Amino acid sequence: MLSRLTRPRALALCALPVAALLATAAFAPLPYVIAQPGDTADVLGEHRGTPVITITGAPVRETDGALRMTTIVATGPDADIGLGEVYDSWFRTDRSVLPRDSVYPSGKSTEQVKKRNIADMEKSQSEATRAALGYLGEDPAKVKVELTLADIGGPSAGLLFALGIVDKIGGNGSGGDLTGGRDIAGTGTITADGKVGAVGGVGLKTQAAGRDGATVFLVPEGECSDAKSTAPKGMRLIPVTTLQGAVNSLKALDSGRKVPSC
């Protein structure tokens, strides 16, 4: 003999597996990374008591203003990210939810990622030094540059390192500061021949810059739209593609001439 379920009871029974699935999803780790604005560091000054840029073999200028490299902080490749964290971060302008594989190489541990980031930073410092000395016409066999930025990895400070070296040795070329005394921030990789590359996380980096007092932000040209989407009100965004272009824009800004804008 067969019994017939009432409609409400049938719906209740069907809802049980769905509820169980949602409950499981709420507590199961998801393949995402949550990023937020990180620290900034003035490459013209000191970081944790140590000068960021030390130059020997060439006269070094006293500088005013700041050239602020920017970072983001992301959960590690081994972190368990739940549905609640993803949902909360998705609707915040000071958070980004990113696929884990887009940030970290698949199968790499936190320690392996850290070692890779340190290697990327060391390469970035070398490229930045070559780019800056090449721009200045200085002989790298005679001028030595040491760059020190503890506990920060990755290649995205390259542009700011190069600008810092240029400012400390040559300034704006007319006896003044490349910064014009302003608090300037930015991001971007750099090659030895001075080409600036994209880095990711620009929207969060503009927020870090604004929080720490910067009013101008140098952004790789291809990432202008990302920078504009969350940049603090009143922050001036200047697109750059080369070290030469970045220097020219800062000189134009100081002299009141037209400056490119995102």
Asked if 205 is an active-site residue, the reply is yes
Amino acid, single-letter form, for residue 26 = A
Q: Of 89, 96, 168, 205, which is the active-site residue? A: 205
Secondary structure of residue 4 in the 3-state scheme: coil
Alpha-helical (H) ranges within 28-109 are 83-90, 100-103
CA distances from 143 to 57, 116, 247 (A): 4, 28, 20
Catalytic residue list contains 115: no
The single residue of 156, 168, 249, 251 carrying the catalytic annotation is 156
Supply 198's token pair.
């994209």
Q: What residues have CB less than 8 Å from 81, skipping those under 6 apart? A: 29, 30, 32, 33, 34, 75
What is the rounded distance in angstroms from the CA atom of residue 195 to the CA atom of residue 192?
8
The residues assigned a catalytic role are 156, 205
